[in-house]
Amino acid sequence: MSPAAVRVVHYMNQFFAGLGAEEAAGHEPVRLEGPQGPGRGLTPLGLPVDVTLACGDDYFAEHEDPALATLLAWLEEEAPDVLVCGPAFNSGRYGYACGMLAREASRRGIPVVTAMFPENPGVIAAEGGAYVVPTTANVAGMKDALPVLAAIGVALAEGRDPGSPEEAGYLPRGIRRNEVVDRSGADRALDLVLAKLRGEAFETEVAPAFEVVPPASPVPDVSEALVALVSEAGCVPQGNPDHLVSRRAHAWLAYPIDGVASMSADAYETVHGGFDTTAGNADPNRLVPLDAVRRLETQGRIGRLHPTFYTTTGVDTPVASATRFGQEIAAELVNAGVQAVVLTGT
Amino acid sequence: MPRPGTISASPLTVAAFDVRAVREVRHGEGRVSRTPGDPLLEIDLDVVESLCSDEPALGSLRAHVVRPGDSVRIANVLDAVVPSVKADDPAATFPGVLGPADALCGTGRTDRLDGIAVLSTLDMGALIDPDDPIPASYVDMDGSGASLTPWGSTINLVLELVAAQGASLADVDAAARRTLLRAARDLASATAEDSDADTESVFALGEVAGELPVVVPILQFTAEGPGLTTYLRGAPVDLVSPCAVDPRALLDGALTAGAYDSPAARVSTGTIQRSRLLHRLLNEHGTALVCPGAVLTQGYLDDADDKRRMADGAAHIAAEELGADAAICTTYSLGNSHTDTMLTLRACEQLGVRAVGIVAEEGGLTDHVAEADALVSTGNVLERADGWTPASVIGETDHEAPAQVPVLHYLDAATQLGDGRLRGVTI
Amino acid sequence: MATITSLPTIAQMAGASRIVRGPAITNPTGDPSLDEEEEVALRTKIVERALEMVETDVEPATVWEVSA
């Protein structure tokens, strides 16, 4: 099949598509003819782009379902042989959009290749649905990423296996698929435990994908520090004015707590769908310990409590979303000069 | 009531009769019948439908018979039960729900039908929590979903139930469970005149001489209120501390299901009755190993100290009371019950009991401890079955399933008692 | 950052290094069985443990308890 016969669609965000920078982050999805931005660099590498789809990063994050619906409908019309997403580098919202679109497109039979920093939550969001080329954290890695992206894209478009992760330069997909085996889990468990007992070699069927995050250096003296409260217990002001969902949160929220001495039951509630909220609603301080922190602030045990608290609901939350929330909240905290965080988990 | 941990010297004899075909009738002779030696079962659907006539919490019952290969999806499935009856005293069947709570169970003779199951469907969603619906629960009789659930391979008598207006969750659930178990008992009673079972298994747990390894199953269940509870002799498995039980009683109807969360990862009554794990341990008792009893433990405990105490308690009973050299720890459903499994594995290993855990995956592990170095995976519930559209759906009027249904929604597809043959692999 | 949770094994798996074990899923920073004063005292103790951890050099995945 000659390269000219393959049909290529490229997804990117508002910035790379030339629609504008941060001010255009709320841009609705658009469909553009031919390559845009970095897509122009793919043509000389053998992967000419036919159609570019672009969407604002904020728009995608805040309107995920309609954004995906629009983009997937266009993908169905365009019927590409391969979808290229990004490179998103370490932009969390951009990477997340790439990952989600990749996952959904691959479920519809469209091969996908994308590129981003390995710690971008978009890698997890893709759920193994895309070949992910690792990049640098910032755009300086563009010229290294494009050739790898193009080579895998060409292979996929031509219906070929790109090769192993080491050969082709992509991250191992780490997908857990199901296989049907001859013996039941119960039989395998009995064999496994007898092998363990006899001191024979044995192998576990599943192991954790451990996140190794080196501990942050200690804060030498918290009595001089700006401390923030963050929680996944689903705590919101009474009436849930911003409609935080009780499961599978797409967003985190921030609320001012300047001058608020306690998470009182008449002013706050929890909407978490993963546990019995009776105790938490009777006294939300049991979930977000504001009264205790205020006490310690008055006593001088902490320097000051950050005037904003951050909240979301942590049940059925896809790991990719939770990772993105953590990165975004952390970025805000760092910007605000916060030095220590107390996070409550349920 | 006999202490749950008492192991009787009397054997349990399970006589199984094959059913390969069903003839459903209406206005028939008013019973279930099966000619001795003939694998055809005749069922009078009118009689089945009258089973809920004295259950005010149920508005209606429609009975259907479906067969493997039918283009039918059964939705809102609550439970699946293997037809079973205590041959010597049918009124004792399913103690605590139908029979008296202290009825003999786990000994004597039990007649069972193979090849047929009884299923119940009822839309529980609005009753449990209208803001937080329970996941859809399917048994498909064809398409790729049919091979994911064990009940896609049995002829199924389906009891399509509707709750009575205004009835409480607790009342509806209890009525549904009773009706289902009644139907299962009555179906098995068709064998009353047949003394020639197709297979007969005898389970005895006598003393064993010699140096065989002692292997104990630690079985995790749950009790979080109506609709989220397993029942032991009709009482919620709401344990102050774990307890040792005769595993034969669990096969013989002492344990019944009433939890309607994650269909793939929970345990139906039928799965407990047929438990491959318990059958294998009982069959090999005295030859390859010793199985002195099973330990029942509870998952989803809310309090951190309670979780640790339950885990330590289960390991302690296995090690000290039952003399376990090894334990197999099962898991109930998804979420923080996996923490309970991990804590139990850790507690066993710390007492010198070599332990294996059985867990389903949600894309990967929910929880882990260093001591969990030998885990069996019952599959990734997030993976999807190929798309299939049934010609008809029982149990749901406005059926709208996604084109590709996640494994999560198929009853017992990834049950962590280990009866399925799915396994997660990294690609 | 210190995480207060009654499920420290899950926090460890997610990469948390400073973890204080709280009483229960439904109340990681409280205990409804105590009277109001005792409960605020417990909560303050839990938060103090968290702050102590923030001031301490730790190995990855460290869990601290709150003594009664």
- What pLDDT, in 10s, does the model give residues A131-146? 999 999 999 999 999 9
User: What pLDDT, on a 0 to 100 scale, did the predictor assign at position B398?
Assistant: 82
pLDDT computed for residue B221 by the predictor: 97
Q: Across the interface, do B131 and A273 touch by the CB < 8 Å criterion?
A: yes
The closest CB to that of A197, out of B302, B354, B379, belongs to B354
Q: How confident is the model at residue A211 (pLDDT cuts 50, 70, 90)?
A: low
Output the 3-class SS for chain A: CCHHHCCEEEEEECCCCCCCCHHHCCCCCEEEECCCHHHHHCHHHCCCCCEEEEECHHHHHHCHHHHHHHHHHHHHHHCCCEEEECCCCCCHHHHHHHHHHHHHHHHCCCCEEEEECCCCCHHHHCCCCCEEEECCCCHHHHHHHHHHHHHHHHHHHCCCCCCCHHHHCCCCCCCEEEEECCCCHHHHHHHHHHHHHCCCCCCCCCCCCCCCCCCCCCCCCHHHCEEEEEECECEEECCCCCCCCCCCCCCCEEEECCCCCCCCCCCEEECCCCCCCHHHHHCHHHCCCHHHHHHHHHCCCCCEEEEEEEECECCCCCHHHHHHHHHHHHHHHHHCCCCEEEEEEC
| Higher-scoring residue by pLDDT: B28, A157 | A157
A270-312 tens-digit pLDDT:
999 888 899 999 999 999 999 999 999 999 999 999 999 999 9
In the prediction, which pLDDT does A131 show?
96
Q: Do A215 and C47 touch (CB under 8 A)?
A: no
pLDDT confidence bin for A320, thresholds 50/70/90: confident
**Min CA distance, C53 vs chain A (Å)?**
8
Q: Chain A closest CA to B190's CA: distance in Å?
A: 31
pLDDT of amino acid A174: 77
Asked if the Cβ–Cβ distance from B305 to C23 is below 8 Å, we say yes
Q: pLDDT by residue (tens digit) across A73-131?
A: 999 999 999 999 999 999 999 999 999 999 999 989 999 999 999 989 899 899 888 99
Which chain C residue has its CA at the smallest distance from A295's CA? C44
The model carries a pTM of 0.80
pLDDT of B387: 86
ipTM value greater than 0.90? yes
Give the phi and the psi of residue B394 in degrees, each rounded to 5.
Answer: -105, 135
Query: Average pLDDT for residues A12-35, to the nearest whole number?
Result: 94
The whole-angstrom separation of Cα A188 and Cα B95 is: 32
On chain A, the residues whose CB falls within 8 A of the CB of C57 are 215, 217-218
Inter-chain CB pairs, A–B, below 8 Å: 145
pLDDT at B133: 74
CB contacts < 8 A (A, C): 130
Beta-bridge partners for B289:
B285
Q: Which residue from C2, C17, C28 is facing A287, i.e. has the nearest CB?
A: C28
Q: How confident is the model at residue A244 (pLDDT cuts 50, 70, 90)?
A: very high
Contact C30 A279 (CB under 8 A): yes
Can you give the pLDDT at residue A210?
Answer: 63
Look at residue A173 and tell me whether its pLDDT is greater than 90: no
| Chain B neighbours, 3+ Cβ pairs < 8 A | A, C
Cβ contact C7–B343 (<8 Å) = no
Q: How do residues C13-46 score in pLDDT, each as one tens digit? A: 788 999 999 999 899 999 999 999 999 999 999 9
**Residue A322: closest CA among chain C residues belongs to which residue?**
C14
Point out the residues of chain B with pLDDT beneath 70: 1-6, 29-31, 125, 132
Q: What is the pLDDT at residue B6?
A: 63
Q: Provide residues of C within 8 Å CB-CB of chain A.
A: 1-7, 10-11, 13-18, 22, 24-32, 39-40, 43-44, 46-48, 50-51, 54-60, 62
pLDDT of residue A4: 55
Mean pLDDT of A195-214: 88
pLDDT computed for residue C68 by the predictor: 67
> Distance (Å, rounded) from C-alpha B72 to C-alpha B14?
32
pLDDT of A155 strictly over 50 = yes
Residue B262 has a pLDDT of 93
pLDDT of the residue at B397: 80
The partner residue sitting opposite A346, judged by closest CB among C1, C28, C59, is C28
